[in-house]
Every structure is written in structure tokens, then in C-alpha cells.
Homo-oligomer: A and B are copies of this chain.
Amino acid sequence: MGNMKEKIKYVSIDLFFKKGYFATSVSDIARGSGIQKASMYYHYPSKEELLFSILKSTMDDVTAYLKNSISGIRNVEEQMRTAVQSHVRFHLDRQKENFIANSELRGLTQDHYRIIVKKRYEYERIFQNIIQKGGEQGIFVKDDVKILSYAILTLCTSGASWFKPTGRLTVDEIAAIYEKFIINGLKQGQVWSGAT
């Protein structure tokens, strides 16, 4: 926990996750960091900038993580499998930040809000492109691409709201279930219909 600026961020992530952004006071953050609240303003110009800083780095990291994991894969189905795995893993590994990034956008100023939403949009587009390509190649269903992408993303993202690292299932197991469910859902499942 090197420097104080990082510690404040770390403590804030914890508190915002537990109590929410609005229910967390600057005094709470200061207390958790072991400083006076005035000292927080030395490191961040405002409470809102602190929130923005958390959301920004989370969005940048998740996008970099996804891009890196699917780079080089050409097969569309394999791309989607990998993308889902990447999405689930990041959201469970960095659960708190991701939960905040999906629930505390209302705490942002309009300018910051726009920046984060734009980053999110770019992230979603990666999934939408894969779904689109899969549809064109006849591998995936041809339903509305945006709806499908929202479905896939929120499905995995929601894991961040109930997942407990010490719980019954590991990240691997959860990722495997989601991957299977989503690929099944995306595929045109009627070929084998005679087997019922």
C-alpha cells in the first residue's frame, strides 16, 4: 500500500462498494485511510474526481484486458468464448470496482459521465462486432445485436454483485457455466430438433 493516493483510492473502492457513493462521506474515506479529511483534498480535488478516477481506470483496464485476450483469434465462436471468459474473469477478479462502475455513474458530473459512457460503449462494440460477424457467418442467431450484447454483458457483470470469493463455486466454474450458456443461446439451436 505504497503511497497515500493509492490507499485513498483503495479504501474508497471498498466503501463505495459496501455503502454506495452517496452514503459514503469524505470523513469515512479519511478515517479509513488514517488521515484527516482535509488531507484527502491534497490528493484529489473533490469526492467526485475520486469516483471518476476509479471508474476511468476500471474501464481502461477492462478494455485493455479484453482486447489483449482476443487478439490473434480468428474463429468467431472462439472469439466469443474467449471474450466471455475475459469479461467474467475481470469482473469477478476486480469485483468491487466493477460493481461501482455499473452502479455509481449517477455520481459523476455530466462531462465525466460522458467520458465513462463512451468508454463503455467502445467496450460493448467489441462484443457487438463479434455477434454481428457470427450472424453473418450463420454461426449465431440473427436477432438484434445490441440487445444480445446487453444480455451477454449484464449477465456476466451481474456476477460481480453476488459473487463471493470464498463461496461455493470458483471463478473457473462460473466462467465455464456462463460460456456454455451464452454460446448455446447464441447458436442456432434448431438443427438437432429431431432429437427431442
Q: Is A54 an interface residue (CB 8 A)?
A: no
CA distance A20 to B144 in the complex (A): 30
In the assembled complex, the Cα of A191 lies from the Cα of B190 at a distance in Å of 11
Interface flag for A155 (CB, 8 Å): yes
Stretch at the interface among A3-11, A34-42, A61-69, A175-183: A175-183
List chain B residues, Cβ under 8 A from A185: 181-182, 184-185
Residue A158 interfacial (CB < 8 Å):
yes
Number of copies: 2
Is A187's beta carbon under 8 Å from chain B?
yes
Within 8 A of B (CB), among A150-196: 150-151, 154-155, 158-159, 161-162, 169, 173-174, 177-178, 180-187, 189-193, 195
A1 at the interface (CB under 8 A from B): no
Tell me the complex Cα distance, A155–B186, Å.
14
Q: Which residues of B sit under 8 angstroms from A184, Cβ to Cβ? A: 141, 184-187, 189-190
**Bound CA span A190–B190, Å:** 12
Interfacial chain B residues near A192, Cβ < 8 Å: 189, 191-192
- Return the CB mask of A99-131 against B: 1 if under 8 Å, else 0: 000010010000000000000000000000000
Apart from A155-B158, A192-B192: 9 A-B pairs, beta carbons within 8 A: A147-B177, A150-B162, A154-B155, A154-B158, A155-B155, A181-B185, A184-B186, A187-B193, A191-B195
